[in-house]
Amino acid sequence: VRTFRLVLEYDGTDFDGWQVQPKGRRTVQGCLLAALDRVGGRDLRVTGAGRTDAGVHAEGQVASVRADTRLGAYGLQRALNGVLPRDVAVLRARVAPDAFDARRDALSKRYRYDLWNGATRSPLRARRSLWVPRPLDLDAMRRAARVLIGTHDFACLQAAGSSVKSTLRALSRVDVAGEVGGAVRLEVEGSGFLRHMVRNAVGTLIEVGHGRRAPESIGALLATRDRSLAGPTAPARGLTLAVVRYPAESIEKPGS
């Protein structure tokens, strides 16, 4: 039995998210388990760094895979890519230390959210971005984004009904790039995220971009810890899990 680290890309449009669902819906984890089974892996255990929701994409999801297989990392990658459906692929595979756990060991995750700020909806961008027809004030959004950086209680950006012990999280980066009337890209990096936290932050930043909320009000919003006072949840299709980072010792197999 060995442990592998897989980096995955998927188009989330036709998936019911990462996590295997009870009623046998189509999930990325489910497809990966089925593919591992088909290529002869036994005693499988698959953990994803981020449990992406239905419709969320990934170009750098990381999975730890425990499997009893004779395949090496490269052979496993090739075999999996041969049997996985066309909307998911293994970009890289490495043998990892036995104890590697993609979720627990992650240092940070970076998400991207794509907006299309053109006056007309864009069919070629429809699967990957949210159409925001009214011009956005990107400078105001940047000022608001800066307030989110650092360690804060993000309870107001947590999905209603969640129950986690602490809603304290640390964001190291919240960037707004692009141009008014064109493609706008938000990047958010942090050590951990609450449920829907990125999508709720995006929904709130869009309100700032439309002048319906002042950049200076974001600090007070965080202080309220009240979900009902933040913006709406931006739809899943604009969100992509871009990169997951790990400390070298958790992913490098000693002597390999």
Q: List the one residue from 44, 51, 87, 153 that touches a second copy (CB under 8 A).
A: 87
What's the token pair of residue 210?
């439309």
Does residue 108 touch a second copy according to CB under 8 A? no
Query: Residue 112 and residue 184: Cα distance in Å, rounded?
Result: 10
Annotate each residue in 156-185 with x if it binds a second copy (CB under 8 A) or - if it does not, as one string. Answer: ------------------------------
Q: List the one residue from 2, 5, 57, 199 that touches a second copy (CB under 8 A).
A: 57
Does residue 121 touch a second copy according to CB under 8 A? yes
Q: Are 175 and 201 in contact (CB under 8 A)?
A: no
The CB-of-9 to a second copy minimum distance in angstroms stands at: 5
Is-catalytic flag, 137?
Answer: no
The CB-of-73 to a second copy minimum distance in angstroms stands at: 13
Does residue 134 touch a second copy according to CB under 8 A? no
Cβ distance to a second copy smaller for residue 88 or 171: 88
Nearest to 173 by CA among 112, 246, 103: 112
Residues of the chain by 3-state class (helix, strand, coil), percent to 5: 30, 30, 40
Query: Residue 56 and residue 112: Cα distance in Å, rounded?
Result: 10
Does residue 52 touch a second copy according to CB under 8 A? no
Nearest to 187 by CA among 200, 198, 195: 198
In this chain, which stretch among 3-11, 36-44, 191-199, 219-227 interacts with a second copy, using CB under 8 A? 3-11
| Burial (CB count within 10 angstroms: exposed 0-12, middle 13-18, buried 19+), residue 85 | middle
Cβ distance to a second copy smaller for residue 120 or 228: 120
Q: Which residues are catalytic?
A: 53
